[in-house]
Amino acid sequence: MSSSYGNNLKVQVFGQSHSPAIGVVIDGFPSGMKVDMEFLSSFMVRRAPGQNLSTPRKEADDVEFLSGLNENGETCGAPICAIIKNTNVRSKDYSNLAITPRPSHSDYTSLIKYGESRDIRGGGQFSGRLTAPLCIAGALCLQYLKTNGVKIGAHISSVLNVLDDAYDLVSDEIPDNVSDFSCINEEKASQMKAVIESARMACDSVGGTIECKITGVREGIGDPMFDGVENRLAQIMFGIPAVKGFEVGAGFDVAKRYGSENNDPLCVVDGKVKTVTNNAGGINGGITNSMPIVFKVAFKPTPSIAKSQQSVNLSEMKEATLEIKGRHDPCIVVRAVPVVEACAAIAILDMML
Amino acid sequence: MSSSYGNNLKVQVFGQSHSPAIGVVIDGFPSGMKVDMEFLSSFMVRRAPGQNLSTPRKEADDVEFLSGLNENGETCGAPICAIIKNTNVRSKDYSNLAITPRPSHSDYTSLIKYGESRDIRGGGQFSGRLTAPLCIAGALCLQYLKTNGVKIGAHISSVLNVLDDAYDLVSDEIPDNVSDFSCINEEKASQMKAVIESARMACDSVGGTIECKITGVREGIGDPMFDGVENRLAQIMFGIPAVKGFEVGAGFDVAKRYGSENNDPLCVVDGKVKTVTNNAGGINGGITNSMPIVFKVAFKPTPSIAKSQQSVNLSEMKEATLEIKGRHDPCIVVRAVPVVEACAAIAILDMML
Amino acid sequence: MSSSYGNNLKVQVFGQSHSPAIGVVIDGFPSGMKVDMEFLSSFMVRRAPGQNLSTPRKEADDVEFLSGLNENGETCGAPICAIIKNTNVRSKDYSNLAITPRPSHSDYTSLIKYGESRDIRGGGQFSGRLTAPLCIAGALCLQYLKTNGVKIGAHISSVLNVLDDAYDLVSDEIPDNVSDFSCINEEKASQMKAVIESARMACDSVGGTIECKITGVREGIGDPMFDGVENRLAQIMFGIPAVKGFEVGAGFDVAKRYGSENNDPLCVVDGKVKTVTNNAGGINGGITNSMPIVFKVAFKPTPSIAKSQQSVNLSEMKEATLEIKGRHDPCIVVRAVPVVEACAAIAILDMML
Amino acid sequence: MSSSYGNNLKVQVFGQSHSPAIGVVIDGFPSGMKVDMEFLSSFMVRRAPGQNLSTPRKEADDVEFLSGLNENGETCGAPICAIIKNTNVRSKDYSNLAITPRPSHSDYTSLIKYGESRDIRGGGQFSGRLTAPLCIAGALCLQYLKTNGVKIGAHISSVLNVLDDAYDLVSDEIPDNVSDFSCINEEKASQMKAVIESARMACDSVGGTIECKITGVREGIGDPMFDGVENRLAQIMFGIPAVKGFEVGAGFDVAKRYGSENNDPLCVVDGKVKTVTNNAGGINGGITNSMPIVFKVAFKPTPSIAKSQQSVNLSEMKEATLEIKGRHDPCIVVRAVPVVEACAAIAILDMML
């Protein structure tokens, strides 16, 4: 099993890179929301390829609703199924990877797990393309959350050694990103672009981190131990391909601190209990405390690079050199920003319902 | 809901710090394993308080099996229930925390979630003491896994700014810890102890990280997207109180790398497909690839410190100074090492069954 | 939430009677099975409308696979999504039911649950049409089970007061149904048809029962208490619209028996433990015992009848007479036979995996 | 896996007939309810053995709470664990059943499933004694439901061929049972007792049915398809040992009816939508419609009878005569009445939360 998330809001993703369609079923979504198709389209565009710095594969990513809406385009309580048809697929690009798997990719493990029948074309069900259905589900959740006072924003907090400004952990503001790139600081955006462009020229790729901030979530959401807000966020974030780390609030930095530094003093603001700092990232004991929820996710550099690499020829069981052709992002982080927002929205709405 | 984990092996933790007992029900454990009571006891001792550097509260942590074993002490297929009676509880220590919650603790969020009826004594269900039942479940899983060729080890990889030697990500060896402290490097152990002792003297606490390594897991374990090995490990690790970060393989470091650096070249070793490096931490696409599974967890410094802190008096809704009495660990990481091993064992066995 | 079933094989149904499509996602289906499209089509035809005695609405029920198959038409381990497009929908037929709900239908309860936004067209998500996706999933499971030695058959055991011959509870044979109707006994089939036809002429409908037999399931399948084979079968069978009763083995008859009559004496057949009788229906303590699994399901008469009925005008909150127009089955049991087989196959495969 | 039920309220049963204790963990129970220990005790007594017509094994069935309550005996939001210690166990009674399994019992299937290590003493985890923990959970749920206006009652609707009066499906009243036996009609109670007594004298047992009625559940509870109220009730009712049938409302009788007879005409009562009849048993499309929920459960005669029976000697793999010694109920239905009420309460509260 695999591709299903949620307790009160069930999100079931399906599709392979080159199957007739990819899509998602969302079961448990509240009834009565008129889907804002314009918002959905603009959200999908943020993830879509063919943009600045990303793979040239041109996909329309047009969302079709098969179910879950009534004749007025409102959610009706029935499971929502939405799909994107796969067009512009070039299956021949990937034929050799069945014998010589890409390093740090699922090519080999999918063979072990599913056998020769697995769909290797374009990465099959492991393709980054499967984040598009997550974005459909996320966009619906974001729309619903927004009308309930919850805002979610994310930015590229780092690419290689270039760091964007960090979010203020305490304030309820989420600063806008610069116009054409998911950064707060325009200068850092330019530097990141340069790093990515130079990686592309070198037939290589680069990693990075994404920081996400959620405001307006009422206190008392989440459950102790295994169903805390951080557990649930971590579980869904590792569902995004290439994620290798997740931290909440001050994250790994807490390990280098004294308690007296790291504890968030309580205070009263406008008659409400708040904290002076927010190293906890808005969560105590798995439960929201009304401060912003802030977390960070680490993405590895795309494993599919044009540089020649050492692999293994599985039919001959000996080492072999691999040259990957085809279209690949030099930095998956750029397109992953809306995916992080989408996954955060799914997790938060699931816990709020 | 809250305290239940697992798909094929269901682990349900129960208890509060000062309830008559704490315990765990394990449903789905394989039938026919004679429980090694000596191993279980020695494992429990590693987590127990009253040891080197930890809180002086003296608890026997004697495990009693209420169900799940037959008359020969073998698992019989029925749900296993094991408990530890709570003795030596001093409830009066905690009475004032209901009005003046501890910063960075669940005192306030538990009030919001459960109301005045919540059990605040000793941290209630949020107490670190609840990791003892996790250790019972984990010890049973470790025993079962060991007989199936799976080994799990963990060490304190850092305390404040002192770093232990790191695990070799590629080798199948798990080095032993030094005799009285969960470190590989004896000198680093001494330095860590000194840091912790000086924090205690300063009425403060310190954070740290734990690294865990799992070998012998067959390839093909785990599922794509939301049920990958890293998702499942992350979900359970954030169930340990005070965890604020989780990373697998090279973790957050991948964000600073080029793909050509980070990719793990494939190779053939003894007729089997392996990787030359192991930045992936043994997992590709959520699925094990036969390399060691390695991950790291960040623990914040214990929030309960003797130093006076700023809090809020909830009855008067104004800021107040809090002085915590009672017995607290200056560094929870020391006792958390077996808990990390236990949780890893539970997650891995759940995925293997 | 609602429309998802299964632990190891997750079946998520979606669609409304008049949404663009209806369909199903099947997650966890074994990799490597070449889908027998001919068998699938012929199975779908058994449920399809426009046949003998059923509603004249003509639907092609052509199944389209959106995902889960590789380029050779084999299951590839990825979630399978299959849909049927809704064509030939006449939405205007149902407009008045929003104000004057049909007795014994979901028209009123769906309003309460989902509000005015619910999709009432053609029964929305409560339509019997949603059993078509169940049949897709069931057909795949049946094909897989067949190659693993498991056979599933069902017949109309009664319509009104006409009883078909009963299945032999002990034998491993499943007798064929007569050619054009799901009955064992041709004469009984004729009588049932007459009863149904006369109900149609009277603008009325009739209920009935379906008996199902499963052979070849290995012993030891199922779990005690809540996940026994009978629990799991009951849960899915009540998912078929109009089901009001479920019984296994001798069923309700056991209540009228002495233990000495009802107990199934053990015996040895060909070196295997069997039972002389099979009042247990193949299940002891929730676990299969190698005897045939036999159960019966009761269907109420279709609530949508042309006869005028007493209802309530919800805008005026006073009683009103309802005359339903449109196309309705006089006996849903006829088309429900493959649905029962499909659901049995889903439940059994889920437990076997 | 096995012994866990529920989505929002998780009930995990544990224990074997002769393990140190049996018990239950209830996760998700609302915080703030002062447990009525007197009600709990009196409810447990209704199920306890050693009463009128039941097995002479004398068990106190004293409930001990290990967790989940605060110092004032109120539920505190933490998982509730409650146990009953097993005393008065005579393990030697059951030694021979490992070789010669009881017909229509789990003796053989538990061997297949769990191997030689299974706990056969007293039926192990399959013992009817495991319904005691269900009653603990049920009693808590009943108390909570009562304060929220929901009432649940059950009676023995039949034993062998003696029928008690039936519940009125429409009225909100639940008639009391006669003082010492769970029947509405005193005369029928006497007749049932006579039937049971004569079965006991004949070293035999008898089956029966239990009818249960639930009032006060608000409309709109339950979900379509697999999580309807009837699906959820059926799933838990088949968790009670010896249950072989479940029907809701008019149940199997609907199969013998015309739609015009079976449909429940809608009407307006005190400004609310109700139905004139209640053949639906309070459920349309899986969702409550505000009418009483009524269902019936069929129990087989206890398989453990003193009469000699044909079984198989598993070590010699040949047929053998079995004579069961020990203490057994001639009619399990008598003590199952509170168990049905308990299970109904668990299911309904799970759906209401």
Q: Is C92 on the interface with A (CB under 8 A)?
A: no
Q: What angle do CA A249, A254, A255 make, to 5 degrees?
A: 145
pLDDT of residue D221: 97
Nearest alpha carbon to residue B20 among D20, D139, D37, D78: D78
Could C246 and D244 be called an inter-chain contact, meaning their C-beta atoms sit closer than 8 Å?
A: no
Describe the strand order of the beta sheet including C64-67 as a list of residue ranges: C4-5, C10-14, C21-27, C80-85, C64-67
Q: What is the mean pLDDT of chain D?
A: 93
Name every residue whose Cβ is closer than 8 Å to that of residue C270 and which is 6 or more positions away in sequence. none
Enumerate the residues of chain B whose CB falls inside 8 A of the CB of residue D23: 66-67, 81
* pLDDT tens figures, C51-76: 655 555 555 689 999 999 999 999 99
Enumerate the residues of chain B whose CB falls inside 8 A of the CB of residue C224: 78
Residue type, C52: N
Lowest mean pLDDT among A255-259, C217-221, C237-241, C320-324: C320-324
* pLDDT tens figures, B264-287: 999 999 999 999 999 999 999 999
Enumerate the residues of chain C whose CB falls inside 8 A of the CB of residue B78: 224
Q: How far is CA B271 from the centre of its chain?
A: 36
Q: Evaluate whether C115 touches A31 at the Cβ level (below 8 Å).
A: yes
Task: DSSP letter for C61, please.
Answer: -
Average pLDDT (D249-274) is: 97
**In this structure, how many other beta carbons lie within 10 angstroms of the beta carbon of residue B72?**
11
Query: Which residue out of B1, B29, B92 would a mutagenesis test of the D interface target, given it has the greatest number of D Cβ atoms within 10 Å?
Result: B1
Could D205 and C259 be called an inter-chain contact, meaning their C-beta atoms sit closer than 8 Å?
A: yes
Distance from CA of A224 to the nearest CA of D (A): 9
Task: DSSP letter for C272, please.
Answer: E
Looking at the partner chain, which of D103, D109, D262 has a beta carbon nearest the beta carbon of C263? D103
pLDDT of residue D26: 98
Q: Is B33 on the interface with A (CB under 8 A)?
A: no
How many CB pairs lie under 8 A apart between chains A and B? Answer: 365
Enumerate the residues of chain B whose CB falls inside 8 A of the CB of residue D114: 31-32, 76-77
Could D119 and B79 be called an inter-chain contact, meaning their C-beta atoms sit closer than 8 Å?
A: no
Residue B209 exposure: Cα atoms within 13 Å on the Cβ side: 26
Average pLDDT (C116-142) is: 95
pTM, to two decimals: 0.96
Could B231 and A239 be called an inter-chain contact, meaning their C-beta atoms sit closer than 8 Å?
A: yes
Q: Is A220 on the interface with B (CB under 8 A)?
A: yes
Q: Is A67 on the interface with C (CB under 8 A)?
A: yes
pLDDT of residue D50: 62
Name every residue whose Cβ is closer than 8 Å to that of residue D326 and which is 6 or more positions away in sequence. D90, D93, D94, D304
Query: Which residue out of A300, A316, A323 would a mutagenesis test of the B interface target, given it has the greatest number of B Cβ atoms within 10 Å?
Result: A300
Q: Is A10 on the interface with C (CB under 8 A)?
A: yes
* pLDDT tens figures, B227-248: 999 999 999 999 999 999 999 9
Lowest mean pLDDT among A122-126, A324-328, B186-190, D52-56: D52-56
Enumerate the residues of chain C whose CB falls inside 8 A of the CB of residue A28: 1-2
User: Which neighbouring-strand residues pair with C267?
Assistant: C274
Return the higher-pLDDT residue of B53 and D24: D24
Q: Which chains touch B (3 or more CB pairs under 8 A)?
A: A, C, D
- C-chain residue closest to A124, CA distance: C78
Strand pairing class (B293-299; B243-248): antiparallel
Q: Is D119 on the interface with B (CB under 8 A)?
A: yes
- A-chain residue closest to D224, CA distance: A78
* pLDDT tens figures, A149-176: 999 999 999 999 999 999 999 999 999 9
Would you tell me which residues 327-346 of chain A have a C-beta closer than 8 angstroms to some C-beta of chain C?
A: none
Looking at the partner chain, which of A10, A22, A124 has a beta carbon nearest the beta carbon of C76? A124
Would you tell me which residues 231-270 of chain D have a C-beta closer than 8 angstroms to some C-beta of chain C?
A: 231-232, 234-236, 238-239, 241, 243-252, 254-268
Q: Is A4 on the interface with D (CB under 8 A)?
A: no
Return the higher-pLDDT residue of C50 and B318: B318
Tokens of A45: 């565009």
pLDDT of residue C102: 94
Q: Is B95 on the interface with D (CB under 8 A)?
A: no
- C-chain residue closest to A92, CA distance: C71
Distance from CA of C27 to the nearest CA of B (A): 11
Enclosing H/E stretch for D187: helix D186-201
pLDDT of residue C111: 95
Tokens of C111: 């309003």
Answer left, alpha or beta for residue A52, where phi above 0 means left and psi between -120 and 50 means alpha.
Answer: beta
Q: Is B133 on the interface with A (CB under 8 A)?
A: no
pLDDT of residue B87: 86
Q: Is B67 on the interface with C (CB under 8 A)?
A: no
Looking at the partner chain, which of B249, B256, B284 has a beta carbon nearest the beta carbon of A108? B284
Low-confidence ranges of chain B (pLDDT < 50): none
DSSP reduced 3-state for B240: coil
Could A226 and B220 be called an inter-chain contact, meaning their C-beta atoms sit closer than 8 Å?
A: no
Q: Is B110 on the interface with D (CB under 8 A)?
A: yes
- A-chain residue closest to C10, CA distance: A1
Q: Evaluate whether C2 touches A27 at the Cβ level (below 8 Å).
A: yes
pLDDT of residue C348: 98
Enumerate the residues of chain A whose CB falls inside 8 A of the CB of residue B334: none
Q: Is A204 on the interface with B (CB under 8 A)?
A: yes
pLDDT of residue A328: 79
Query: Which residue out of D248, D252, D257, D305 would a mutagenesis test of the C interface target, given it has the greatest number of C Cβ atoms within 10 Å?
Result: D252
Enclosing H/E stretch for C39: helix C37-47
Could A241 and B285 be called an inter-chain contact, meaning their C-beta atoms sit closer than 8 Å?
A: yes
- Report the percentage of chain B scoring pLDDT > 70: 93
Name every residue whose Cβ is closer than 8 Å to that of residue A190 and which is 6 or more positions away in sequence. none
Q: Is C66 on the interface with A (CB under 8 A)?
A: yes
Phi, psi of C275 (to 5 degrees): -125, 150
Q: Is D4 on the interface with A (CB under 8 A)?
A: no
Residue A61 binned pLDDT confidence (cut-offs 50, 70, 90): confident
- Taking the C-alpha atoms of residue C157 and residue C166, their distance in angstroms, rounded to an integer, is 7
* pLDDT tens figures, B15-59: 999 999 999 999 999 999 999 999 999 999 999 876 655 555 555
Q: Is B171 on the interface with C (CB under 8 A)?
A: no
Q: Is B98 on the interface with D (CB under 8 A)?
A: no
- A-chain residue closest to D223, CA distance: A28
Average pLDDT (C149-154) is: 98
- Report the percentage of chain D scoring pLDDT > 70: 93
pLDDT of residue C98: 83
User: Which neighbouring-strand residues pair with B153?
Assistant: B213
Tokens of A114: 């599913």
**In this structure, how many other beta carbons lie within 10 angstroms of the beta carbon of residue D298?**
29
- Report the percentage of chain A scoring pLDDT > 90: 88
Q: Is B14 on the interface with D (CB under 8 A)?
A: yes
Q: Is D116 on the interface with B (CB under 8 A)?
A: yes
* pLDDT tens figures, A205-216: 999 999 999 999
- C-chain residue closest to A125, CA distance: C78
Enumerate the residues of chain B whose CB falls inside 8 A of the CB of residue D74: 117
Residue type, D158: S
Tokens of B84: 């530890």
Residue type, C287: I
